[in-house]
Amino acid sequence: MKVYRDISDIEYRTDRAITVGSFDGVHSGHKDLLNELTSVSKRDGLSSFVVTFDPHPQMFFNCQQTSPIPFPLLTTLEEKLSIIDLLGVDEVYVAKFDAKLANTNYYEFITDILLAKIGFSVILVGDKHSFGKDKLGNYEVLKDIRNDTIHELKPLFEIIKINRFMMDFIRVSSTLIRQVLRYRSVEIVNTLLGYNYFIIGKVVKGKGIGRIIGFPTANIEVELNKEIPKNGVYVSTIDFLGSRYRSVTNIGVRPTMNSGTIKPVIEVHILNFAGDLYGLNVVLSFNKFLRDEKKFASIEYLVKQIEKDVADTISYFDTNSGEGSPTLSLSHLFD
């Protein structure tokens, strides 16, 4: 997949099928649209082209406030591009979302940017998708623009409307998934995404407490705006150096150890592995929520509980091998 960061690097071509969106999480609804994009492209001999934004528009608007509110992302830019690549998209333009773009109205965005500088013959748009300044652009105004660009008795482009993606009568959205991840179940999140929720991070040095009590852990550092699941213990898998391992992950403040930590720490105990991972990038995927984080009366009780967590994790994988939401194969990130 070819990724452009500057629009001047894009060769103008009309043999493209294009779509536009933030695509945070690249969830089941997004994948429905992107799969149709690649399908149409293959059918008509076109290049599939995605326009997305960095930073996320909501991050930009939040920063304009007097008291900025952090905006959590389901996928960092690196993660989002990795999933879009796996879906078979040919080209992606990462447009810088700044004040200029925020103040570009829908007509200018379509005519001056998409039509004049990138080029396309087919555009796919969700039935409720909006774009341009004040989100005034939508499927209906796209039809008006198409009708205004009649050339030699036919429009310059075709519009394909993608109906909203529903799951059990619920509209799947990034906003819904953030709420479920923060307060409810990672298993529900995985169903809405169509894959196991994951984070890409770097292994950093911790306090070494896990090693002292017999369960060494890898501490994972993630980007500041990355949304992480609620505090607790999870069945997980971890990928690094081309291999995948089963693991138990704790997210929280380690109350039994009286660490004084306020910000949640991500600690991963990797089954059947011994080695130094410091400085490595890893992919951590969440399969199942096991239990809430809690404070134990003693280290001995904590150790017994961790032993049970490990046993429950082994049992989960023995029982659910090949079942449930897939864990994405992102080994290409480490090539």
Q: Which amino acid does the sequence have at 16?
A: R
pLDDT per position as a tens digit, 73-116:
999 999 999 999 999 999 999 999 999 999 999 999 999 999 99
Pairwise CA distance, residues 129 & 140, whole Å: 11
pTM of the model: 0.88
Q: Between β-strands 16-20 and 47-54, what pairing exists: parallel, antiparallel or unpaired?
A: parallel
Question: Which residues make Cβ contacts (< 8 Å) with residue 173, sequence separation at least 6?
Answer: 27, 29
How sure is the predictor about 44, in pLDDT bands with cuts at 50, 70 and 90?
very high
Residue 138 has pLDDT above 60, yes or no: yes
Query: What pLDDT score was predicted for residue 335?
Result: 44
Domains of the chain: residue spans and CATH: 13-171 (3.40.50.620), 196-334 (2.40.30.30)
* Average pLDDT of the chain to the nearest whole number: 88
Q: What is the pLDDT of residue 134?
A: 82
Higher-scoring residue by pLDDT: 124, 263: 124
What pLDDT, on the 0 to 100 scale, is given for residue 150? 67
Closest by CA position to 240, among listed 284, 301, 290: 284
The predicted-structure confidence for 288-301, as pLDDT tens digits, reads as follows 999 988 877 677 87
CA distance linking residue 77 with residue 162, whole number of Å: 24
Question: Which token pair is 216?
Answer: 């060494």
> In this predicted model, which residue has the larger pLDDT, 70 or 74?
74
Q: CB count, 10 Å around CB of 156?
A: 16
